[in-house]
Amino acid sequence: MKRAGVSYFGVRIPRHARRDLEDIAARGYTAVLHTFSENDLAYYRGTMAQIVAASHELGLEVQMCPWGVGRTFGGEAESRWVTFHPEACQVLDDGRRVATGCLNNPAYRAFCKEWADAALETGTDYVFWDEPHWTVPEHVGVADPNRWACVCQVCVELSGLDMSQGLTPEVQQFRERSVVDFLGEVTAHVASRGGKNTICLLPLTDGPHGVSDWDSVASLPDLSVLATDPYWKNFDESAGSFVGRFAHLLAETSARHDIDAQMWLPSFGLTRDDIPDLEAAIAATHAAGVENVWTWAYEACGHMTHLATADSPLVWEAVTRALTGEEDPASERQRVDLHDLDLRPTAELVQLINDEDRTVAAAVADAAEPIASAIDAIVDRLEAGGRLVYVGAGSSGRAAAADAAECGPTFSTDRIVAVTTEDEAAEDDAAAGARGLSALAVGEKDVALGVSASGRTPFTLAAIDAAREAGALTIGLTCVRGSELARRTTHSIQVEVGPEVIAGSTRMKAGTAQKLVLNMMSTIAMVRLGKTFGNLMVDVRASNDKLRARARRAVAIATAAPEEEVARAIAAAEGDTKVAIVALIAGVDAQTARSRLTAAGGVIREAVADVVG
């Protein structure tokens, strides 16, 4: 049976971690690995237990790894222990002691077992011994890659060898035996406390850090899972052949010892150009018979600048599809924690949906930078005489149409329009989207803003393609990352709201997010175009008594003029609020005020700049 897992690290606020874990489970992953660094050991033991418990509640199997512990395991975390225990650290062949625990030192082995005890206390299903290795010179600031360890007194006495002769075959054999002996001791300790072990070996069978005899590790009596992580880019080899080679070694070795085989592949550090290699690596793994495949790490480490790329969202979507077969966007996924939704009390449902809605504003805030960039681009086009054309279907289309309709009377503009369809079936009609866009004669001055929760609606994609071919600026607004709409547009706004309370009901969080963003974009664009004076709505179409009263209040507040003067100014301006304000502030007649506004591009502050300074 195929299984898919992903590592997760860096978030230690349980409510935020739970939201991510819900996403992991909803995407089809069956397991998660949590990092447990020395910092976590010192400060987050109880928190990690909460995060593990949340993982289990969502049906995820849990592994926990000693991330950077003692600097003898994989990971970017730093080690506190080596600072406090330099006497138990490794010694290079040139006599320098380095900040890495010695695998043979009893004090360091005792500390690793203490770490394992704490990991088991969190409730993890497996302890994941990640890339156990002797020190790598460059990892401890040593420029000479030919240096090696360890020649401390403990290692010299245990080996009985003359280590001054260099890294001889005998010394290398001793180092390898030491790694296996270390792993035997710590895995036995975990098993004695009722835990299970995974060992992830570096994808090496030779050299100073390789284990030549994988059977010696696989045969350890307390090992449940053997893993490896052939990150092909680190070795400058093709993905298919390199990963395939180690997948076969892993599968065959595990089978000989009747233990599970687990493959780890990277999603961090990859670009869209690497996606075919990643897919080839996964295919090669499955072809070798390894069905338990994991990736490092959640969202392709997009949250960690050291490991992220600009394409991390695309890579994350690609690796998820390849590992889980997941095709649905986030909004379509069923939240496993809400399987009993219809059985819950009404008051609880009110609180639940309200809590979910609170997350939308935060998701919009996370997209603030691309939203601002898109607004500036829209303003440039509108100032040049162009239009903002919303495109959407279904719930997204209705939100776009409503915003466009409201902009007309609010800001006296006819340059925000919408190409939408009320017919749900028409969402799939690409030709209709293209026709609707073409009917507006969209051109180079215009902006086409496609709105689609999933980012894959055919109606919207076709309209955006038509707009791009016509030379228009294109913007995509979606509620998932790495969508087709994002790939086809110049500006991409991706507001990740996660799975809906009702699976697939994008009128809920996704609809709220789209409404917030569209409202924000159109309003700020109008502010930038001078449709407000301060926070006063001064370009409103006063078509009824309510709006006429609002216009009078705006003129009165902006100018501090008496009611009689306000009334006369509005009458002389033929109801034009902005003209009345400029006339009163500048002390000019309506005709002169109108001329000033025209020269200032409709911006009141510029029209009265010589008066107010």
Active-site residue set: 406, 427
Report how far apart, in Å, the C-alpha atoms of 607 and of each of 361, 379, 475, 553, 587 are: 36, 19, 32, 20, 12
Q: Which of 255, 254, 230 is nearest to 241 (CA)?
A: 230
3-class SS letters over 232-262 = HHHHCCCHHHHHHHHHHHHHHHHHHCCCEEE
- The token duo for 486 is 């994002």
In the 8-state DSSP scheme, what is residue 334?
A: P
Q: Which of 392, 383, 407, 406 is nearest to 514 (CA)?
A: 392
Report how far apart, in Å, the C-alpha atoms of 367 and of each of 17, 57, 73, 271 are: 20, 30, 36, 21
DSSP string, 430-468: HHHHHHHHHHTT--TT-EEEEE-SSS--HHHHHHHHHHH
**CA angle (108, 219, 289) in 5-degree steps:** 115
Rounded distance, CA 311 to CA 271, Å?
5
Q: Are strands 473-478 and 447-451 parallel, antiparallel or unpaired?
A: parallel
Rounded distance, CA 48 to CA 386, Å?
54
CB atoms within 10 A of CB 129: 27
Secondary structure of residue 264 in the 3-state scheme: strand
Rounded distance, CA 459 to CA 464, Å?
9
Q: Where does 44-194 show beta strands of DSSP type E? A: 61-65, 89-91, 97-101, 126-130
Report how far apart, in Å, the C-alpha atoms of 269 and of each of 304, 315, 478, 566 are: 10, 9, 24, 63
Q: Which of 159, 125, 146 is nearest to 52 (CA)?
A: 125
Contacts of 198 (CB under 8 A, 6+ apart): 63, 126, 127, 128, 129, 223, 224, 225, 226, 227, 262
